[in-house]
Structure 1
């Protein structure tokens, strides 16, 4: 049987939805002829893979068109593994016929071209399997170029510790990564079998995600698992993946992963400590003290091989008796650690190359801490000044001008302009025990940018998406993301969800006397700002108010494909 006949059988079996034409490859000798396979891993319905083998090094180019949109991707010979090339076909929109042209150029300049037509499936019809995305504003000519990736979660109505087993399965055994173009069209998505958290694009173009089973997973655009790490002492069995790498001695890996310039990873691991005579309430200052197991976060740096090479421990650096609201909520209870208190709740970190330091967000401390990498000393603290021990008083930044301190914030990052940007959730209005919490209608969340003068130890607020609880304000008391984008200086703000700001509703999930925010439906919001102008806005709409849709966080990439030649915020 000749190569042409072999390939015809392969394409018929592996890609029934794809129709090849323009065959013939007299100029290049293929060990395995090109074939196109739709959704090769079963997790990326809008993607496809083109595979072939050659006995020589070759460069490849994909040209893709759906009649309205055209784009290209180029691949060098280094993508081959033992002569086998697998090229991702990505960026295709649902329910459209696409023309895909492969051009392969050998080392001696010989070329081969191959063309397919391929029709992508429609998006899932089940409204509980795919969010209803309401595009309210889209002005592409004023937006940062590129593609927006989002980590999407769903949840059943109700407080986390009151969910039934089936509601918990609905919430935890599902996750989605989603990519949108400037018009809000879906051009790629990945179906996860577990709830996803923070995501990042790596320097190799792959996507790194934390999952709520305390694992960190690297995938490519075809949904292949490239690497997986997990906390060795997590309250679950080891992953089914036999190549998964344990991070030794850690109970958890959580929230936002971060790649360092040398290829290592930064992550959070929370570990329990028994503290005698600890608080038992964040609402009653006279509540009796008791021995408590308190979760304290450690920043962990580990290599691609899973070796821990650097740590910074909040338990040794901060006062565990400085507590915030939500210390006694059920966050860790429903994640396999019953009766563990949530002291720091670290939820975002990044490495600052300008001065070899690490930026750490401690939600339940209402503070962002900058840590010197070499000495592990705290350089500064951005947050309220009350309650800090004497030895940290000189680390507190002094506010200059009109400034609102962050409250229960998320995901701080250094921008290309040298400023700090973060999502300011403002849970409880930024109050600390035992101050009164703001009524729910008076709460709001925002993206905010600060300028820190380290020499004078001052901080100035230089941009915000909004500083008031106006009618259209969005209040997300957890998760969320904010970016200053490098090409346009636009701002991308991801509100994980917009809570119903209704009278008589509490955001204290442990208050059994009133309805809580988690008992009511909500969806997420994505906004891009050009200064104060909104140039893109999307909302994820719950189906008949039956569920929650959460946009945990995300990022803007210059292209669906890896483009290291173009600027990207990290």
Structure 2
């Protein structure tokens, strides 16, 4: 009888496995059918349900689980350590993707507060950070090590009664990858630079598709990731990083949106499938990168992403909002539903090898909390515009009027000067100031490539590129240019694509000329807006083709505490 039941159970298990496999295979076939037989709401515009099916974000726990295992190990090691700074455990590259980071585990007999010092070559490159709270068990995160040397790191232990002691540890690091290229310092005036308290801010060269790294005031690399990163490298409100990387290192496309930190610990990851129809053969599927140029965190902590919608015809003209906890798409904004139909049906400004039409090429966005509006930049329309985020209705357009239908002309901002020069192919739009009264007046900063694609061509076009600031009165629909820097650098710093311009503090702006010399050089320039004096200047050369620096960003290595949490990350939703 027992034998009979064993045989029956075995047969039942086989049927379940076979049936499950058959069901999975059938679902897979159905999805592929739906991907190639696209459902359109009207000509050229996909149904929103089709876009959601095409992109298919999914939470992945693989990397979170892997770094959780490391965290558990460090927590156990801290617990087992003997008391005393001389018994500290020192770990370089604790999460295996950030070679210039470290972790020091140490116990003290009395409750102490720790101050971290990473010794630099000069005072301006020495990094210091005070940790919060008095403890006996310390997990001290170390950021800002030099490559290829034995670094000195000092911990100062201060008791509540003011008694202090110091211990210096040594952390040895290896060479940086050759693909990063060569960074040549041209100018450095650290006292005039915006380096933050304790010199904790670095200049980050954000890669187009390759190595992202951070430079100190002397142009030395003090942080880099071994993860290949494309375009997106942002700090979230919880002090973590948001990066766009690959699902696995050997993949060609960048389809993993990862929440991580400067140590390399993974907190959350969203994977995208990217199986889209091709233009030449719409009934065949090819793997594409879904997210391309930008991602921002909304006030509700959901993420807004610039994406390809999976169309066989158009690219880089759609945004999706995904739920931060689940990865589910909760909103789709298709710019073909907002901007003139002629903009995408008659576009001839650029051409792609795959034949798809990149009529808008959205490269940045910023959310205006006061007015609930989204400000968007599109390179190939030479256009910046604002929409009401809830209704997606247009509010205003900053662009030259050429090729804009009469029905859209009333959205245009009116220049307050006859000499106003419109941007061409601009990047990195950012909101840096707005008035208290309903945010009616705003200051926008952006990088003007000065390469008109669709509208605004002048004799000055392609002669230089510049960081610029404009003041916009949103109620009166007027615009005034208040600052520009780049013209004096001339054609040497003209960049046909990529680039950034960000206010960084001390009245300074950091400009990234990412595609200088036809993509053979990137240059990072910090300039004071009052004097137009350059206070920091680095040339980057000899990097891998295609890995020009998409943006230059000044970011704080320690936006929060230097204490590394050894709590396990929960991956369930």
Q: Does the pair score TM above 0.5? A: yes
Instruction: Rate the CA distance shift 1:40–1:111 in 2: closer, same or farther, 3 A.
Output: farther
**Equivalent residue number for residue 317 of structure 2:** 297
Would you say 1:72 and 2:128 are equivalent positions? yes
Cα distance, 1:410–1:84 mapped onto 2, change above 3 Å: farther
Q: Determine whether 1:93 maps to 2:146.
A: yes
The 2-side partners of 1:551 and 1:377 are apart by 34
Q: How big is the shift at 1:206?
A: 2.1
Does the 8 Å CA contact 2:183/2:538 hold for their aligned counterparts?
yes
Q: Does 1:432 align with 2:429?
A: no
Equivalent residue for 2:385? 369
Task: Confirm or deny: 8 A CA contact 1:235 1:251 kept in the other structure.
Answer: no
For the 8 Å contact 2:206–2:212, the answer to whether it is kept is: yes
Equivalence for 2:522? 524
Match of 1:25 in 2: 83
Contact 2:465–2:494 (CA under 8 A) maintained in structure 1: yes
**Residues 483, 102 of structure 1: CA spacing in aligned structure 2 closer, same or farther, 3 A cutoff?**
same
Larger Rg: 2
Query: For each residue in 1:474-514, what CA deviation from the matched residue of structure 2 results, as whole angstroms up to 9, or x when unmatched?
Result: 121222111123x31211111112035xxxxxxxxxxxxxx
Distance 1:356 1:318 in 2: 19
The 5 Å alignment of 1:126-275 reads 128-146=178-196, 147-153=201-207, 175-192=210-227, 194-211=228-245, 213-234=254-275, 252-273=290-311
Cα shift at 1:528: 0.9
CA displacement at 1:85 relative to structure 2: 6.4
Q: Is the 8 A contact 2:377 2:426 kept in 1?
A: yes
RMSD over equivalenced CA pairs, Å: 3.9
Distance, in Å, in 2 between the alignment partners of 1:303 and 1:234 is 22
SS in structure 1 opposite 2:380? helix
Q: Which has the larger share of helix?
A: 2
The number of residue pairs the alignment matches comes to 448
Q: Name the residue aligned to 2:424.
A: 407
> Does residue 491 of the first structure (1) align with residue 532 of the second (2)?
no
Counterpart residue number, 1:340: 356
Secondary structure of the corresponding residue to residue 176 of structure 1: coil
| Aligned partners of 2:426 and 2:448 also within 8 Å | yes
1:210–1:257 Cα contact (<8 Å) kept: no
Offset at 1:424? 1.1
Counterpart position of 2:501: 482
Which residue number in structure 2 is paired with residue 240 of structure 1? Answer: none
> Is the 2:207–2:551 contact (alpha carbons within 8 Å) kept by the matching residues of 1?
no
Query: What is the DSSP-based 3-state SS (H/G/I as helix, E as strand, rest coil) of the residue aligned with 2:336?
Result: helix
Q: 2:398 touches 2:412 (CA, 8 Å); kept in 1? A: yes
Instruction: Give the direction of change, closer, same or farther, for the CA distance of 1:195–1:222 in structure 2 (3 Å limit).
Output: closer
* 1:510-541 per-position Cα deviation (integer Å, ceiling 9, x unaligned): xxxxxxxxxxx611011111122211111112
- What secondary structure, in the 3-state scheme, does the structure 1 residue paired with 2:407 have? helix
Once the two structures are superposed, residues 249-283 of structure 1 have per-residue CA deviations (whole angstroms, 9 ceiling, x without a partner) of x9722212212233222211221446xxxxxxxxx
Alpha-carbon deviation of 1:412?
0.4
* Deviation for aligned residue 1:62: 2.8
Q: Residue in 2 aligned with 1:157? A: none
Q: Match of 1:319?
A: 340
The 8 Å contact of residues 308 and 316 in structure 2, kept in 1 or not, is answered as yes
CA deviation string 1:282-301 (max 9, x = no partner): xxxxxxxxxxx122522222
Q: Partners of 2:299 and 2:374 in 1: how far apart?
A: 13
Matches of 1:493 and 1:322 in 2, distance apart?
Answer: 30
Of 139-148 and 377-386, deviating more is 139-148
- Contact 2:206–2:232 (CA<8 Å) still a contact in 1? no
Displacement of 1:409:
1.0
| 2:445 matched residue in structure 1 | 421
Aligned partner of residue 476 in structure 1, secondary structure: coil
| Displacement after TM superposition at 1:216 (Å) | 1.9
Q: Secondary structure at the match of 1:271?
A: coil
TM-score, normalising length: structure 1: 0.69
Q: 1:548 to 1:385 in 2, by over 3 A?
A: same
User: Cα offset for 1:397?
Assistant: 0.6
Instruction: Mark the CA change 1:75 to 1:554 in structure 2 (over 3 Å): closer, same or farther.
Output: same
Using structure 2 for the length normalisation, give the TM-score: 0.69
Gaps of 5+ in 1: 1-12, 15-22, 155-171, 237-249, 275-292, 501-520, 565-570
